[in-house]
Amino acid sequence: MGARSMNISLSEAEQLVFGADHCFAGGYLAKKWKLPVFLYTCIRYHHSIDSMPPELAEYDKMTAIVAMANYLAVSKKIGDSGENDVPPVVDPLLSRVSRETIEKIVEQARASVKA
């Protein structure tokens, strides 16, 4: 029985089955593998930026970008995240990242897709 059939989010299903979600597990692995702090932060907090500890605040914009990418992928049904609903996180995230930054990211993404 999957998250969709139970009508719960993938994160909720992960919590039920494993006692932790993919953000926690990914953060654990990022630390264990000694990945750079910015990667750990993006992995661990892309679904919960507001719970990010103050000492990681310098990475909030980068993490917001990862969260927005996740939002776009889920909302456009790119891949299969297992999520039932689009996460309602975009408005608070947009205030963390400038329009110019978003436009640069979109340009880079388009260029990499064409390559």
Number of domains in the chain: 1
Q: Does the structure show a pLDDT above 60 at 1? A: no
Count other Cβ atoms within 10 Å, centred on residue 9: 19
pLDDT value of position 34: 96
Q: Does the structure show a pLDDT above 80 at 17? A: yes
pLDDT average, residue stretch 53-81? 82
Q: Does the structure show a pLDDT above 60 at 86? A: no
pLDDT average, residue stretch 52-79? 84
Q: In angstroms, what CA-CA distances link 31 with 3, 75, 98? A: 28, 30, 29
Does an H or E element contain 52, and which? none
CA nearest neighbour of 106 among 114, 91, 37: 114
- Rounded-to-integer distance, Cα 68 and Cα 62, Å: 10
- Structural domain harbouring 103: 3-114
Top-confidence range, 38-42, 48-52, 57-61, 77-81: 38-42
Q: What percent of the chain has pLDDT over 90?
A: 30
Beta strands in the chain (DSSP E): none
Tell me, yes or no, if the pTM score tops 0.75.
Answer: no
Q: What does the block give as tokens for 99?
A: 């329009």
CATH code for the domain of 92: 1.10.3210.10
